[in-house]
Amino acid sequence: MKSSAAKRFAKALIEIGVEQRAYEAYGKELRSVLAVFKGNPDLEKVLLNPMYKLEERKSLIEKVSASLGLSPYVARFMGILVETRNIRFLDEVVAAYSRMEDALSGRLRASIEAPMELSEALIDEIRSKIGGLTGKEVILTYKNNPALLGGLVLRIDNTILDGSLKTQLEMMKEKIIEGVV
């Protein structure tokens, strides 16, 4: 599925969630369904298998929905994904929904990579600076990446600010090669 179709599915559900004032609850429900699918890879295979009748596959997703205590709208949404055979793209739909949910809630997700362990104080300082610049609540994830050698790589949505020593050395190498040739 192209991400545009996943966005359309996610947008349809988030519009209902906004109307019902429950879009955050729907997001939690979607993420719990995704966790069940990740924990049970055979579930997706059964729901996509044409050897099972549509009624059987819908009955299975209804049982999953009931066991998770999904709201009627999210349960129906899951049924539609099964009917249209788009359940295989649940991961993309949940990611698109989460981005829309963050936008509505005034949140921004960012990640930072560094070659050494960063202190909580430094991570909090980076979080607050990004929050001050954007005016949004920042959810910052940190990853240790020794391959960077030095510096930091900051990702905010589709923007990457790469201040790593590794990248700077690679750019310097390219300039030297261009100058020699």
> 115 and 55 share a domain?
no
Do you know the residue count of the chain? 181
Are both 70 and 127 inside the same structural domain?
Answer: no
Q: Could you tell me if 12 and 95 lie in one domain?
A: yes
Q: Which of 83, 103, 123 is the last residue in one of the domains?
A: 103
Residue 164: the pLDDT is 86
Residues 66 and 143 in one domain: no
Tokens of 81: 């994904």
Total of domains in the chain: 2
Domain end call among 57, 79, 103: 103
Residues 78 and 117 both lie in one domain: no
Range of the domain at 159: 108-180
Which residues, including other chains, have CB under 8 Å from residue 84's CB and lie 6 or more apart?
A: none
Same-domain status, 117 and 58:
no
Q: Provide the CATH number for the domain around residue 58.
A: 1.10.520.20
pLDDT at 4: 84
Helix (H, G, I), strand (E, B) or coil at 165: helix
**pLDDT at residue 83 in the model:** 94
Last residue of a domain, one of 78, 103, 128: 103
Same domain for 16 and 89, yes or no, is: yes
Distance of CA 172 to the CA centre of its chain: 34
- Residue 96 and residue 114 in one domain: no
- Enumerate residue ranges in the chain where pLDDT < 70: 1-2, 181
User: b/e map of 110-133 (b: 16 or more CB within 10 Å)?
Assistant: bebbbbeebeeeeeeebbeebbee
- First-to-last alpha carbon distance for the chain, in angstroms, is 44
- The verdict on 10 and 91 lying in the same domain is yes
Q: Are residues 16 and 40 in the same domain?
A: yes
Return the pLDDT at 181. 57
Same domain assignment for residues 94 and 126? no
Phi and psi torsions of 114, nearest 5°: -145, 150
11 with 98, same domain: the answer is yes
